[in-house]
Amino acid sequence: MGKATVYIWNFANKPVPVKILRVASGSEAITLNNAIISALPQTRTGAVAGRLKIFDDGTELPIKFEYELNGRRSKSDLILLRRTHEDLAKYFGPGGTPPYPWGKGAGKKNQ
């Protein structure tokens, strides 16, 4: 089992509420009872969604992510990469730099 965490990057200057509807992989799904993440301005905000099955030697996990933003439902197909503890510290720990072009400088404000 692997822990799945939802992160929202907010580039606006005000908080943005995002309703998390469902996170699914294959036949397995996490329903979050319409949990709302208040994405903080100019930073990355996250919340643990739950746990999903991943094979011991799996390095990535295809995900269907369903959410509501500004009253509109939407979904995204994503590939989650398995991260080691060292990866998490390097990218998202104190002084870390996320491995995304838009994350440069935002990694110091992790939630």
Query: What is the Cα gyration radius of the chain?
Result: 14
Which pLDDT value is given to residue 105?
52
Comparison of pLDDT for 58 and 41, the residue scoring more: 41
Name which residue leads in pLDDT, 18 or 58.
18
pLDDT higher than 80, residue 102:
no
Domain boundaries 2-102, corresponding CATH code = 2.60.40
Assess contact for 62 and 49: CB atoms under 8 A: no
Residue 87 host element (H or E): helix 85-92
pLDDT tens-digit series, residues 50-94: 888 877 777 888 889 999 999 999 999 988 777 888 988 898 888
CA 82 from chain centre, in angstroms, equals 13
Domain boundaries, the chain: 2-102
Q: Looking at the chain, how many residues does it have?
A: 111
Q: Is 82 helix (H, G, I), strand (E, B) or coil?
A: coil
Q: Which CA distances in Å does 10 have to 26, 38, 41, 76?
A: 28, 10, 6, 17
